[in-house]
Structures are given as structure tokens and as C-alpha cells.
Structure 1
Amino acid sequence: MGRILLVSRLAVRDLRRRRGEAALLLLAVLAATTTLTLGLVLRDSASDPFQETRVATNGPDLVASSATPTDLDRLTGAAGVIDHSGPFPIAPASFQRSDVQAIGRDAAPASVDQPSVVRGGWVREGGVVVEAAFADSLGVRVGDPVTVDGRSFVVAGFAVTAAVAPYPGGSCVVLVPCAHGSPTDDLPPDVLRNPGLIWLTRADLLSLHPDSLAYTVNLKLADPAAAAAFGATDPGLRLQPWQDVLADATELAGDARILLLIGAWLLGLLAVASLAVLVGGRMADQTRRVGLLKAVGGTPGLVAAVLLAEYVLIALVAAAAGLALGALTAPLLTRAGPGLLGGAGTPSLTWPTIALVTAVALGVAVVATAAPALRAARTSTVSALADAARPPRRTGWLIAASTRLPVPLLLALRVAGRRPRRVVLGVLSIAITVSGTFVILMLDTYLRDNPFVGGYDRAQTDSLRQVLLVVMVVLLSLAAVNAVFVTWATVLDNRHASALARALGATPRQVTLALAAAQVFPALAGAVLGIFPGGWGLFDAIIAITGGESDRATFPSAWQLLALVAATVLVVAALTALPARLGGRRPVTESLQAEHA
């Protein structure tokens, strides 16, 4: 216990001395854990309105339909059925030139699936009740005159139900082919295109369709969880368990969840690259501190534990904050819509979610810091206390290639040559950022040009575009912070080399340009790799996962791709200008002196 207490106190003390760096490290991990939490809890948050609607309407556990009511009568008497309503007649119809499913209902309330009227009243002779989301899409109002299969009716009210998902994602329950694609799709004339739902009295529906009717019944089961397996052996019935309705109702949240999880892994990879560079810079700045710890009796294991403990503490705080922020933010990204009651509540955090987010945070911290911490712990005590400048690597081809270059490029190439792993991490960071940005822009254009993709309406595709915007803002913010601190870590690591270069005649401007150029060239390589293969491959993967159609996508032209690469390089150059300038103008005598712990 004394050893643990010592490690904890040393780690906390070092974090308090470097609060700015600790805050930025916290930000990097927090971005990944918050986005991951959002992706994990979004569907649970989206299911709240459906569950509230299901309770308010006494929603069915299973909806069955058949061409003849006798098949349904046999089902209502089956073992395990505790209540039912119907059979009700149902038929495909035309409502204001839109495809609908028209259901004949009684004026008296039903014990199972009694739609909840949110405006106006329930069915009456000559009156039609419209499903609320469908009514919102058409823009009709209570009291408006409408036509159903050419016959005049009046809108009696709007209602919501849990028997089918809200428009436009509701599944057909009639025994005719249905499609949930764009209204412009070339489909056979007997196919319902994104059908809406209306309710009429039985008499009104029978007067419209005296012969071509199907029937539907709503069942309440003793075991709702077994709804999917109930009656599956009867091929003459069309069955829809409540779990399928829930999946249709939360399909938008499911696609948003996929986008957020992909964004979370991108942010996690970016956080690993960011932390690896930042930790490497901090380790270089703590060389004398490592020497002092070892000089007073600290073993290499103790030194490594102290260095790792700092980042483990940051990871734990980031995991806790990310879980809280993700759970609180999830309802803001969930659009319940007019077809369901209530709104998305704050989801409860389950132990698997907490464990996964915490494990990811700790994994990011350990993967990024283990190698630098172990390398620092193995440093000899004398070398660590001396804190001498690291001898440059003598690479023949690098020296030959740089001798005839202008001074800023010569210094930049040698700065990159001293830290090849940092250059690789810089390339990967930019590649991840550009890949994510490229895919987000592609998906945003795809959703903008195909607002009815996946059976969504414009408002729902706009919700997906908002999710993409959130991910892109977080990704670009973290990448900007990363670019600044990669440059600052390079400045700190090359303080002795930069001072020697200035002592030998290099100007502060040349040193500044060299430090900035050492980040710009990896940014150029990362931007190219981020577009191809990174961006193209990730876009194809997302389209395949979400069930989209890549042939509908509008792919960027060559000049747009060149503009993205150029913009990336310019932004990195602008972000690295200030830390490079500060490092290039540091007094030579101060830089050549040993750093204090």
C-alpha cells in the first residue's frame, strides 16, 4: 500500500505542475470516450418514446394479418395469448395521391392497440384518422377535406400507435408487396411506396373495398419476449413481433449509432497517435526527474509506474466524464418525431457500457505511454541527470540529400530524421483526420442528394447530417490540438539542436521555418493517404454496413481532392506557425543549459 500511495502522490504532483498539458491529454481521451458512449447508448435513448407509446396505447406483442379472418380466429385462441383485438379489415388505398394502409376500426376503444389520439378525435362516419407522423409529412390539419380512393372524407384527428413504426419507416401489414425507397423509384403499380397509415370505421372501409380485403389482429402474449417465435410455423400468416416494430422505429438511431461508433474509433486512433507524441515530448522534458527518482533509490519499475500512473489517472477521469457527457448528450441527437409520444430520456448506463468505455480509455493511455515510459525507465541514472542532447543519428543518404538544400529544408529534414517514429505518427494522425473528414463530407453530400434513402424523410436525414457534423467538429478540434502540440513536442525535443544551429549561423526565421516544415511534409503525405486508400475504403465500408447504395453517391472531382490536400497542408502550416516561432526565437544560451526537473 505504501508503494501505491507513493506512486499516486508523485503522479498527482506532476499533473498539478503541468496542468495545461494534463488538460489537453484529458481532452484527447475525452473526445473518444464521449463519442463512444454516444454510440453505445443512442439506441437505448431512442427506444424511450416507443416504449412510452407502447404503454399508452397498450401496444400489441404481435400483429398478425391474413387474407381470411378464420386463420386469425384460430390464432387468437392459441395457447399463450392472453388478450387480443380484431380481426380488423385492412386494405391498400390512395390518400391524397399517397399510398396508405387503411384499417377499419370500431368507435369503441379496444383492449389491445387503441391508438392514442394526439389531436382531434377518433374514427367516426365520414371521418378519417391519420397516423401523426404521416399527417405531419403531408401537412394536413384536423378538419381538412381529403379523399380516400376518390371518395371525400374529413380529417377527424391524428393518432399514434405502437403496432407499426411511425411513417416513413412503418412495415406493411397488408398482404401486398411494399417498398421503402425513394418515391421516384421505378416500382410496379401494385407496390406500396412508403405507405402511410389511416384509420376508418369498418363501414366506411367496407364501402370502399367490399371484396379486396385482408384482416389483421393484435395479440397480447403471456411472454412478450417470445413474440418472434410465436406462430412462426404457420406459413399462411404474416407476423410482425413488437421487437421488429421497435427496430423499425429506432432504425434512424441505429444508423446514427453506426456513424458515432466509427467516429469513436477514428477519435480513439487519433488519441493514441496524439498521446504517443505528447507523452514522448513530456518524457524528453522529464529526463532529469527520472534521474532524480532513480538516484534516490527508485527502481526502473517504480519509475515506469510513476510515469504510467499519470496517464492512467487521466484516462479514468476521461472515462467518467465521457460516460456522463455521452449519456446526457444522447437525447439531443435522438429525434422522436410526431409519430411517438414523449421524448428521448437520459439513458441508464449499463455495466457493459461502463466497462467498455473505461477499457478503451485505459487502452488508449497504456498503448500510447507504455513504450516511452519503459524507455525512460531504462535510461541510466548518470545520463538522465546530465540531460545531454541526444546524439543525432548519422544517416548517410539523409546527410547527402540535405547538404544542397536551403537551410530551412536542410534543418527540417534532419529534424524529421532524428524522430522517424514521430514522423510516422504525424502522418497517421493526418491520414486519420483526412479520412474521417473525407467520409463525413461524402456522406453529407450523399444524404443531401438522397433525402429519402433508407425510407427516411428529409427531417430524419437532416438528423443524420447533424450527427456527422458533431463527429467532424470533434475530429477536427482534436486534430488541431494534436498538430499544435506535436510541433511543441518537436520544439522541446530539438531545443539543443536548434540552439546549436543558431550558434553556427542559422537565423531565428530559418529555424522557425524548419520546425514548421518538419510538420508540413508529413501532413502532405498523410492527406494523400487519408483520401486514398483511407477515405475511399472507409466510405465503401460505411455504405455496406448501413445498407446504402454507393452508385447514388456524388464522388468529388480531381480538383476538389487537390483542394482538400492543399487545405490540409495550409491549416497544419498555420497551426504550427506559433509554436515553431516561439521555439525558433528561444535564447541560445538558455537552450544549451541543462533543463531542471
Structure 2
Amino acid sequence: MIRLALRDLRRRRTEAALLLIAILAATTTLTLGLVLRDSASDPYESTRAATKGPDVVATAGQAADLGELATAAGVTEHSGPYPVIAGKLETSGRTSDVQVEGRDATAAAVDQPEVTQGGWVSDGGAVLEAAFADSLDAGVGDSVTLGGRSFKVVGVAVTAAMPPHPGASCIVTVGCVNGAIPDDRELPAGLLHNPGLVWLTQADVRSLASDRSSLSYVMNLKLADPDEAPAFADRSGGDRGGPMRIQTWEGILADATDLARDSQILLLIGAWLLGLLTVASLSVLVGGRMADQTRRVGLLKAVGGTPGLVAAVLLAEYLLVAAVAAAAGLAIGALTAPLLTESGAGLVGSAGTASLTWSTIGLVTAVALGVAVVATAVPAVRAARSSTVSALADAARPPRRTGWLITVSARLPVPLLLALRVAARRPRRLMLGVVSIAVTVSGIYVLVVLDAFLGIQPDTGGYDENQVETLRHVLLVWTVILLCLAAVNAIVITWATVLDNRHASALARVLGATPQEMTVALAAAQVLPALAGAVLGAFPGGWALFAAINAITGGDSDKATLPAPWQLIAMVLVTVPAVAALTAVPAHLGGRRPVTATL
């Protein structure tokens, strides 16, 4: 069985390569999404280990409110309470909201920020959070102004006690807002917009405070069991009437890896779209190959092969290709993942070469094999159960006569008449063509929506320009693969139609159709379903896909900028000529086949 499968793959190398590319595209994108999920937390874990990261961070308006937490059940170590004040930082003509935390010059038992440049806090010296310093293009030796006083930047550091800028959560009780108010709008009193983090000595922080009410306090706690952090937060925060905010390390991790998580979601969306296109592509390739292997099936059965053996031989070819594609997709995805997401300036380390977990390997392999089985099982079983005599004869299959189709097409120009009848001969292939284009256009619809969403992020404070660029790279990856696979699908469907209709095309030529008319007919047979698929994908398909994505990810579709009507029309108008251009070459080759040789 293995020998027969390998021999047939060697005889049809082009088709085997197309199968490999189709499955490889889906498995690579799926691997990227799964690997990003697993590798996103690695830089944060490195930062947490290097900085003695806390399990719980508690903030309150009064230091006394935090005193009981240090002796609460389950707490093994703590640092603080440290004073915190909100302010404005000015440097190089730029002004930013900041939260200034007072620290001791000596190392803390919990949450001792890791200095990456310069040194730690000293009188008159400020230490900037690394991602915040990177956004300001500030470094050691620069001067910054806080509360009308000038401070020298003596160091740059990272911490695991809060997400890197601009995702840092406010630890001041006056309130803060992340990404809700654009830079050009006036903020309500007491609110901070994407604040940066600055460390000073406790004495310097207290000297900046106009009165004691402007100070808040933060305490970092280490628990005997870090996994109990959510339960500890519920117990500690629920029994206090005063304003207190308790954040767990899991919540900080989620915020710190927000970019990688969004990259993963985008890639998984692309992976499932590519999976649908792969099923369509494989179904067409399998159908064409089964029709081409009819005589081979008859020979296998004539020399003693059972229907089960014949079906297994036909199925083994695609499972072998799927297994190779899964292995290649896993390797490429793991090696490419670090290029799509970096730890950034606010964390220690980088994603590096992500390790593949057994769950990722199993899921990607199962998807690849599943796609191959879904696309090939029914045609393989149908071919294996066919009559041995009819398979050996390999006679042309007579067309199905459809009265209404003959009536509708009889008065059309010859190319359209032939195109309708060619399309009607294979209704399942016609539907696959419609679905393939609809999935592609739906993906483009979602791309337009996401691109518009990313375009407003720097203004609304959701993501900075570098993060938006990273997400655009992720979008570009699956968009290019999606369009390439859709193009391959269009070519494969056309070529399968050419091969399937070679006898009918030759007869039409004998009866007077010209090669040019046959070329137009074969191309038009693909353009008609492309038009239907583009219309379905432009509105109902794209909107439904976007709604499904929002339902899965918990997004708010009401805030999204949906494509304008002219954009939907443009999608349709661009798709149809693109499909016509892609199908022109195989249609031209099929329309000019020698009649005598074919018959």
C-alpha cells in the first residue's frame, strides 16, 4: 500500500506539490497561533524571576489600609507600602502622564526592579520604566521635570509588578484611563492617560506631594502558593470598605502579553480560513485525480485488490502528504514566531525559538490529517466501490440533461452557453468554487475592518505605533497566504474542469466551436461562481465572520468601523477580473488541445 502510494506521488509530482503547499499554509499559520500562545509568557516569566516579582500588588489611599495584608494568611514576604503620586513628566519638549513611586535605595525582598541601564534610585535621581523610556527616547544622563523640579535619569529598569508601557495599569487612586480617551481630548480631572512609571526615593516623592491626600500607597506581596493569588485577592479586597485595588500576577501577565495574545487571535483566524480553503482545494484535486485514476482503480481490483485496499491506497497518498506538511508547518511556525512578536523594552529576554508542546504537535497533526481525510474519504470510497469492468473501460461519463438549463442557455452566445453547461456538469465543484471565493472575500472583509481598527489605536492609546506595526505584520502574513491559496484554488479548479471536460470540449470543437470560444467558456465557467462567491463574501459572509470572531474573542462589534458600500463593491469588482486572469492560462491550454488526440 505504501509502495503504491509513493509511486503514484512520484508520477504526479506537480499535484503532490500543490497538495503539500495547500496543507502547509494552513498548518504553518495554525502553528504560529498556538506557539505565540505558549511563548508569550516566557519573557514575563524571565522578568518575574529576575525582579522577585510579586504574586499580589495591593494599592490604597492610606498606608494603614495595607498594614493587615502583610500578616494575612498565606503571605510569606512583602515590600512596602511605598508612596505613589500622579504627575506630569516633561522631557525634550514632550509631556506625559506618570505615576511616581517612592522606593528605598536598598534592595527589596519583593519586586526589586531589574536595572538594565545605569543604576538604582538616589536623591535627585530618577529611574524610568524601560518601555516608557523607550517611548520617550530617554536614557541615562537625560534630565526630566516632575512637579516643577528637575531630576536626572540615573537608570532604566523593568518590573513584573505591572505591565510595560503603554499597557501599565494605574496604581494611583485618583484614577486612570488606558486607551479610552484620545490625546486631543481633555481628560476629566484626576484621570491619567496611558501613564508611564518613574521610580524616585521616598523622600523625593513625598517632597513632590502638595499634601498627604495626594499620596497613594502600594504594597507587593509574595504568597506561599502563587496559584492562590485570585482567591487571596477576593478575600482581601472584598472585606474592606475603603478604596483598595488588588491585582494578581496572572492579571499582570495577561496585560503584559496582550500584544502576543492579539497576534495569536489574528493568526488563528487566518488558520481556520486557510483550513476551509484547503478543504476546498483538496476536494477539487482529489476529485480530478480520482477521475484520472479510474483505470488504475480497475487494474488494482482486477489483480486482486479489495475495495478496502483500493480505498486505503488512494487515501494513503494524501495522508502521507498531510503528515509531511504537518511536520514542515510545525518547524516553520516555531522558527517564525519570534519574528512576529518580541518581548519589547519592558520585559527581560525575548520569545526566542519557541518550544513545541505535545498538545501543539498533536493538534496541528490532527488538523492536517483531518483535512486530508475529510477531503478524500468519500471520493476514495466511491472509486473503490465502482465496477471493475466500467473502471477498466474508463469511458466518458454522459452529461446529466437538465431541461431548464438547456432552455435558458440555448439562445445565449456560444461561450456562455458552453460555460453554463460546463459549470452544471459538476455542481459540487461549482459549490466549492463559490465557497472558496466567499471565504477569501470574507477574509478580506475582516482584514479591512481590522486594518481600520489598528489605524486608530495610536490616537486612542490602545497600542503604540510599534505595536500596531507588529499586528499589521501578523495580518500581512495570513492575508498573503490566504490570497495565494485562493489563487491556487482558482487555478486548480479551472485545470480540473479542463481535464474533466476534455471530451465534451473536443466534441464542441468538432461541432463548430472555435478554440477562442472554448477558452472563454472554460474561463467563464469559473468567473460565474466567482461572482456569486464575491457577492456572498462581501456582505453576509464577511459580516457573519466578523460577528463570529467578536463572539469568540469577546470584542465589541459596535465600535468597529465596517467597510463602506463602495469598499464592498470594490471587493466584488476586483475579485471577478482577478479570477478571470488566473483562469485564463489553464483555460487557454485546455481550449487548444488537439481534437483528434483527445477523441
Q: Deviations over 1:382-407 (max 9, x none)?
A: 11111111100010011111111111
Q: Give the Å deviation of 1:151.
A: 2.3
Q: Which residue of 2 aligns with 1:214?
A: 216
Q: Which residue of 2 aligns with 1:101?
A: 99
SS of structure 1 residue aligned to 2:236:
coil
2:261 to 254, 257, 277: 254
Q: Give the Å deviation of 1:548.
A: 5.3
Q: Deviations over 1:502-542 (max 9, x none)?
A: 12221111111111110011111101111111112223444
Once the two structures are superposed, the pairs formed by residues 356-375 of structure 1 within 5 Å of their partners are: 356-375=363-382
Q: Which residue of 2 aligns with 1:226?
A: 228
Amino acid at match of 2:266: L
SS of structure 2 residue aligned to 1:113:
coil
Does structure 1 conserve the Cα–Cα contact (< 8 Å) formed by 2:448 and 2:563?
no
Does structure 2 conserve the Cα–Cα contact (< 8 Å) formed by 1:59 and 1:113?
yes
- What percentage of residue pairs aligned between the two structures are identical? 70
SS of structure 2 residue aligned to 1:370:
helix
SS of structure 1 residue aligned to 2:458:
coil
2:50 to 36, 50, 56: 56
Q: Which residue of 1 aligns with 2:539?
A: 532
1:305 to 312, 315, 321: 312
Q: Which residue of 1 aligns with 2:293?
A: 286
1:70 to 64, 70, 92: 64
Q: Give the Å deviation of 1:175.
A: 2.4
Does structure 2 conserve the Cα–Cα contact (< 8 Å) formed by 1:147 and 1:153?
yes
Q: Deviations over 1:224-254 (max 9, x none)?
A: 2222222421233421111111100001111
Q: Which residue of 1 aligns with 2:16?
A: 22
Q: Which residue of 2 aligns with 1:296?
A: 303
Q: Which residue of 1 aligns with 2:574?
A: 567
Amino acid at match of 1:516: A
CA distance in 1: counterparts of 2:186 and 2:522, whole angstroms = 59
Q: Give the Å deviation of 1:44.
A: 2.1
Amino acid at match of 2:378: A
Does structure 2 conserve the Cα–Cα contact (< 8 Å) formed by 1:290 and 1:384?
yes
Q: Give the Å deviation of 1:559.
A: 3.1
Amino acid at match of 2:72: A
Q: Give the Å deviation of 1:453.
A: 5.1
Does structure 2 conserve the Cα–Cα contact (< 8 Å) formed by 1:43 and 1:250?
no
Does structure 2 conserve the Cα–Cα contact (< 8 Å) formed by 1:46 and 1:331?
no
Q: Which residue of 2 aligns with 1:198?
A: 198
Q: Give the Å deviation of 1:196.
A: 1.2
Worse-superposed segment, 546-555 or 139-148: 546-555
Q: Give the Å deviation of 1:567.
A: 1.2
1:495 to 497, 502, 506: 502
Does structure 1 conserve the Cα–Cα contact (< 8 Å) formed by 2:194 and 2:461?
no
Worse-superposed segment, 234-243 or 21-30: 234-243
Does structure 1 conserve the Cα–Cα contact (< 8 Å) formed by 2:409 and 2:420?
yes
CA distance in 2: counterparts of 1:229 and 1:178, whole angstroms = 25
Asked if 1:156 corresponds to 2:154, the answer is yes
Where structure 2 has 5 or more consecutive residues not aligned to the other structure, the ranges are none
CA distance in 1: counterparts of 2:558 and 2:342, whole angstroms = 28
Q: Which residue of 2 aligns with 1:87?
A: 81
2:359 to 348, 352, 359: 352
Does structure 2 conserve the Cα–Cα contact (< 8 Å) formed by 1:62 and 1:241?
yes
CA distance in 1: counterparts of 2:457 and 2:226, whole angstroms = 37
Q: Which residue of 1 aligns with 2:426?
A: 419
Once the two structures are superposed, the pairs formed by residues 36-51 of structure 1 within 5 Å of their partners are: 36-51=30-45
Amino acid at match of 1:141: G
Using structure 1 for the length normalisation, give the TM-score: 0.95
Aligned residues: 586
Does structure 1 conserve the Cα–Cα contact (< 8 Å) formed by 2:233 and 2:247?
no
Q: Which residue of 2 aligns with 1:111?
A: 109
Does structure 1 conserve the Cα–Cα contact (< 8 Å) formed by 2:84 and 2:101?
yes
Worse-superposed segment, 241-250 or 88-97: 88-97
Q: Which residue of 2 aligns with 1:4?
A: none
Q: Deviations over 1:87-131 (max 9, x none)?
A: 211122222232211110011122221111222222111121111
Q: Give the Å deviation of 1:547.
A: 5.7
Q: Which residue of 2 aligns with 1:183?
A: 182
Amino acid at match of 1:117: V
SS of structure 2 residue aligned to 1:167:
coil
1:343 to 341, 346, 350: 350
SS of structure 1 residue aligned to 2:351:
coil
Worse-superposed segment, 482-491 or 556-565: 556-565
Q: Which residue of 1 aligns with 2:120?
A: 122
Where structure 1 has 5 or more consecutive residues not aligned to the other structure, the ranges are 1-6, 593-597
CA distance in 2: counterparts of 1:513 and 1:66, whole angstroms = 75
Does structure 1 conserve the Cα–Cα contact (< 8 Å) formed by 2:56 and 2:233?
no
Amino acid at match of 1:577: A
Worse-superposed segment, 138-147 or 378-387: 138-147
Does structure 2 conserve the Cα–Cα contact (< 8 Å) formed by 1:179 and 1:192?
yes
Does structure 1 conserve the Cα–Cα contact (< 8 Å) formed by 2:233 and 2:248?
no
CA distance in 1: counterparts of 2:398 and 2:461, whole angstroms = 60
Amino acid at match of 2:519: T
Amino acid at match of 1:246: L
CA distance in 1: counterparts of 2:233 and 2:488, whole angstroms = 58
Does structure 1 conserve the Cα–Cα contact (< 8 Å) formed by 2:123 and 2:201?
yes
Asked if 1:518 corresponds to 2:525, the answer is yes
CA distance in 1: counterparts of 2:182 and 2:345, whole angstroms = 21
CA distance in 2: counterparts of 1:404 and 1:234, whole angstroms = 81
CA distance in 2: counterparts of 1:328 and 1:571, whole angstroms = 33
Q: Give the Å deviation of 1:369.
A: 0.9
Structure 1 residues 454 and 419: alpha-carbon distance in aligned structure 2, compared to 1, 3 A threshold = farther
Asked if 1:429 corresponds to 2:430, the answer is no
Amino acid at match of 2:377: A
CA distance in 2: counterparts of 1:449 and 1:101, whole angstroms = 25
Does structure 1 conserve the Cα–Cα contact (< 8 Å) formed by 2:127 and 2:156?
yes
Asked if 1:576 corresponds to 2:589, the answer is no
Does structure 2 conserve the Cα–Cα contact (< 8 Å) formed by 1:45 and 1:334?
no
Does structure 2 conserve the Cα–Cα contact (< 8 Å) formed by 1:39 and 1:258?
yes
Q: Give the Å deviation of 1:365.
A: 0.7
Q: Runs of at least 4 residues of structure 1 off by over 6 A? A: none
CA distance in 1: counterparts of 2:7 and 2:549, whole angstroms = 44
CA distance in 1: counterparts of 2:31 and 2:275, whole angstroms = 12
Q: Deviations over 1:317-368 (max 9, x none)?
A: 1111111111111111112211112211222222222221111111111111
SS of structure 2 residue aligned to 1:37:
helix
Q: Give the Å deviation of 1:187.
A: 4.2
CA distance in 1: counterparts of 2:531 and 2:400, whole angstroms = 24
Q: Give the Å deviation of 1:454.
A: 6.8
Worse-superposed segment, 174-183 or 520-529: 174-183
RMSD of Structure 2 on Structure 1 (CA): 1.7
Does structure 2 conserve the Cα–Cα contact (< 8 Å) formed by 1:308 and 1:370?
yes
CA distance in 1: counterparts of 2:567 and 2:227, whole angstroms = 52
SS of structure 1 residue aligned to 2:81:
strand
SS of structure 1 residue aligned to 2:348:
coil
Does structure 2 conserve the Cα–Cα contact (< 8 Å) formed by 1:255 and 1:546?
no
CA distance in 2: counterparts of 1:589 and 1:388, whole angstroms = 16
Does structure 1 conserve the Cα–Cα contact (< 8 Å) formed by 2:182 and 2:460?
no
